[in-house]
Amino acid sequence: MAKIQRIRPPEEIPDSAMADVAFLLLIFFIATTTIAEEFGLSLILPAPSTSQTSMQVNRDNVMIISSDESGSVILVDEQAVNLSQIRPMFRERYAGNDKLVVSVEPHPNAPYRVMVDVLDELKMAKAPRISLKTRR
């Protein structure tokens, strides 16, 4: 008696459903991924102007905060201070003069961190008017 040998079809993984599974995984990861929110300085900048108008401010209403080239010395109205002294100095001057404008004038070669730290101190002191000035 002769053996009957069955011809088996080759075993394959059906790849027609793989595209569906890959697409579903892609949708799942896109839907569940959170987008990182970048944080930075929140500054309200004035609208661009074509005219070169400048405002005259009384010298008594201006508090100038500047730094040296290395950023290690911070000057408030030509007086060397620590970073932690900026807030109480501002509050003292602002209590007597509500029209006070703070002018931050970092040295062009000073580290960016110095200006950010000064702006943070002024923000914590709730300074309403801050002017950023660059030296040339």
Instruction: Give the pLDDT mean for 52-59.
Output: 72
- Cα gap 44→68, rounded to integer Å: 26
Q: Could you tell me if residue 38 is inside a domain?
A: no
User: Does residue 5 register a pLDDT over 70?
Assistant: yes
* Residue 135: pLDDT band with limits 50, 70, 90: low
**Better pLDDT: 93 or 37:** 93
- Cα gap 106→132, rounded to integer Å: 8
Strands 101-105 and 130-132: parallel
Which CATH number is 74's domain given? 3.30.420.270
- Cα gap 82→76, rounded to integer Å: 10
> Lowest mean pLDDT: which of 26-35, 45-54, 68-77, 98-107?
45-54
Q: Could you tell me if residue 127 is inside a domain?
A: yes
- Amino acid 28: pLDDT: 94
Contact 104, 91 (CB under 8 A): no
Q: How many structural domains comprise the chain?
A: 1
